Structure 1
Amino acid sequence: MAPELPAKAELLGVPVALTDYERTLDWIDGMVAAQERGYICVAAVHTIMAFAEDPGLERAVLASSMTVPDGQPIVWALNALGHQLPDRVYGPTLMAKACERAARTGQRIFLYGGRNEGALVQLTLNLRRQYPGIRIVGGYSPPFRDLTADEEQQVIDMIDGSGADVVWVGIGVPKQEKWMFAMRDRLQAPVLVGVGAAFDFHAGLVPQAPALLQRFGLEWAFRLAQEPRRLWKRYARYNPLFVLGFARQYAGQRRATRTR
C-alpha cells in the first residue's frame, strides 16, 4: 500500500507539497517498501513560473506524486498565504540526506544525468566516499538531444536491469520533469526524483551558495555570478514575474477572506 502523501497548497497554479525532509524521505522509503511507483519534482521560482508557459512541464508537474518547495522564496510565499513550513526541501540537500539514509538501509540508487560521463563518474566517486556502503547500481549521462526510440529502450533496460529502488534525475528543468513523466510507467524503479543542479554540486563542478545566502533567498544571485551567460535571462525574467504573480495571489486571498 502506497504511503500517505502530504497535503498540498496552490502557488500560482502549482500544487506544492507541505512537507519537510524527513517526511519526504519517509515517503520515498515507503514507496520502495510497497513497490509502488511515483515521482517527485522540486519547485524553485524557475519551475513555478515556467509551469504556466510550458504545457509539457505543466502536465509533468501535475502528474507527479508531489512537488516539494525547493526554493526559499517558495517557502516564504506559502507561509505568507497561511501555511507553516519550517524550511524548504532543497533538491541537493534532499539527495544528500537520502544518500546518507540509503547507505544505512541498502536502498539501491541509479544516477541519470550529469554534464557528461566524466562528471557522472566524479559524482559517483564523491558519493561513495562521503557515504560508505551506498549502493549505486548504475548511471547514465544522456546526450544533449532527444533520445531515439532504441536509445530510450536501452536506458529502460539498463535501469530495470540494475534493480534500482530510486532513480535520481539531474538533467535540469523542465527536461527532467518531462523525462520522469514520459518514463514513469515504463520503469520498474519505485521512485524517480528530479533534483536539477544537485548532480553538479555533489560532483564538485559548481560551488553551492553559502548557507547565509541560501537562508536569505539569495542563492540565485550566487548562481548568477557563477554562470552569468547561462542564467541571467532566467532570473531577469522569472524573478520579477514571480513577485508580481504572488502579490496578485496574496491580494486575492486577502480580499476573499474579508468578504466571507
Structure 2
Amino acid sequence: MDNPTPPPLAVRHLRKSFHGVRRVEDVTFTVGAGRVVGLLGPNGAGKTTSIRMLLGLVAADSGEALVLGKPYRALADPLRQIGAVLDAGGLHPGRTAREHLRIGAAQGRFAARRVDEVLETVGLAADAGRRIRDYSLGMRQRVAIATALLGEPRILVLDEPANGLDPAGIHWLKQYLRTFADGGGSVLLSSHMLSDVARIADDVVIIAGGRVRSALSLDEALASSGGDLEQYYLSLTGTDERAPHAAR
C-alpha cells in the first residue's frame, strides 16, 4: 500500500512552555492543498508561537510541526516551498524596497527577474526606489509579503499580514490569497479580522489559552453558529458573557 501524500502543513500535539509557563498546549491542525486556513484567537492565545514552531524558529517541547511531511529544518530548499510573513518591522530602514528584495533574491538564489515581478504583484513597483524608512506600515507589510513570494512557494504562512494595510491593500490581499489557493496553493493566515477571514477562508482554527477550541471548515463553523462567525469565536474563546463556560 502506497504511503499517502502528506498535507502541505501538519501540526500535531504541539506543546511549548517559556520560563515554566505553558503557552501552547496540545495544538493540532492541518492545512490542505488549495485551502486557506484562518488561525484565530485572542492575544496570547499561542498563534504566533505555534507558527514559529512550524517554521523552525522555536523548538517545541513535544509534538511535531511538518511542512510537506518534514520538519522545516529538514527541507532541502525551504524558501522555494514555503513563504512566511511574521514581522514587517524587521526591514532595514535605509534600504529601498528593491534593494531589500535584490538581497533576498541573491540569498535565496532566485532569478533576478523575480524582484520586479513581486514588486508588481504587491503594488510597489512605482515606489520601489524609496527608502523603507519613508514607507507606511502597510507599505512595509507589502515588502514583507513580496519577500515571501520571491521563491514562488506553494505554501504561505502569514501572521497578521493585513496589519497596517489600508482598505485597498486589504482588498488586494484577500483577492491574491484566494487566487493563490484556488490555483492549488496552501495558506495559513493568522488574523484578528474575523470578517476578512470569513470572506476568504475555507477552514478556521480557533485557539484560546494555548489550546485548539475548534478546527472546522468555515461552512461547518457557520452552520453551528447560525451563520455568525464572530459569535462562534467569542463563545469559544470565553469572551462572550452569554457563554462563560464555553472555553473550559
- Name the TM tier (shorter chain): 0.3 to 0.5
Q: Which has the higher contact order (CA 8 A, sep 6+)?
A: 2
Tell me the TM-score normalized by structure 1. Answer: 0.33
Name whichever structure is richer in helix by fraction: 1
Name whichever structure is richer in strand by fraction: 2
